[in-house]
Amino acid sequence: MEKMEVSKELVKKLLDGVISDQEVLRLLNSYKDEDRFQKYMELLQERVPWKDEILLRLSEHIYVVRKSSGERISKCSCGHEFGDYRVNWKLNCLINVRRTIQEMSEVYSPEPACPEPDWQEIREFFCPNCGTQLAVEVLPPGYPVQFEFLPDIDGFYRDQLGSPLPDADQYKYEDKSLELIKSWAKEG
Ligand SMILES: [Zn+2]
């Protein structure tokens, strides 16, 4: 297989969705260059208005970053901080729930395409700062908020990238969402 140098410019085009069919084929037919993740991270870093180091991108607007204090948090592209990345960031969003057929038909068309009320509800998650809709989930009422992705960041940097993070031993891989929910119970 042909080994192809993938320039930062090409990764930029990939990010912007303006890559040509020919370039897609070239990418598919070549070995992945070792520093592609690095180039991707650099490009993302150039596009956000803050300085915290991006460790991983979770979705279009959500990043796991390392703050200058060393803390690892999830953060919106607008700068809003959701706290420890091991807590489901959705729990710190503004949440709109659609339960009735009237509410659902505002976002589903035609009406027969709507989820069935009583069996399912639509939950919309918004950034409390910029108001961007960050996620949508359709689940039975009462079903826990889905934690879409709890990345093993240290395992990824160590095993996949071959360059362990300097603070690798400080973040145990665990879901800490319940700790937040328990703290709400105490407040109540
Ligand atoms: Zn935001």
| Residue ranges covered by each domain of the chain | 1-47, 92-139
Q: How far apart are CA 176 and CA 85, in angstroms?
A: 9
Q: How far is the CA of 47 from the centre of ligand 1 (A)?
A: 14
Q: How far is the CA of 180 from the centre of ligand 1 (A)?
A: 20
Residue 36, pLDDT score: 84
- What pLDDT digit, counting tens, does each position of 48-102 carry? 999 999 999 999 999 999 999 999 999 999 999 999 999 999 999 999 999 999 9
- What pLDDT digit, counting tens, does each position of 16-43 carry? 989 899 888 887 877 777 788 999 999 9
In this predicted structure, the answer to whether residue 10 has a pLDDT above a threshold of 70 is yes
Q: Whole-model pTM?
A: 0.88
Q: How far is the CA of 57 from the centre of ligand 1 (A)?
A: 14
Q: How far is the CA of 51 from the centre of ligand 1 (A)?
A: 15
Q: How far is the CA of 131 from the centre of ligand 1 (A)?
A: 6
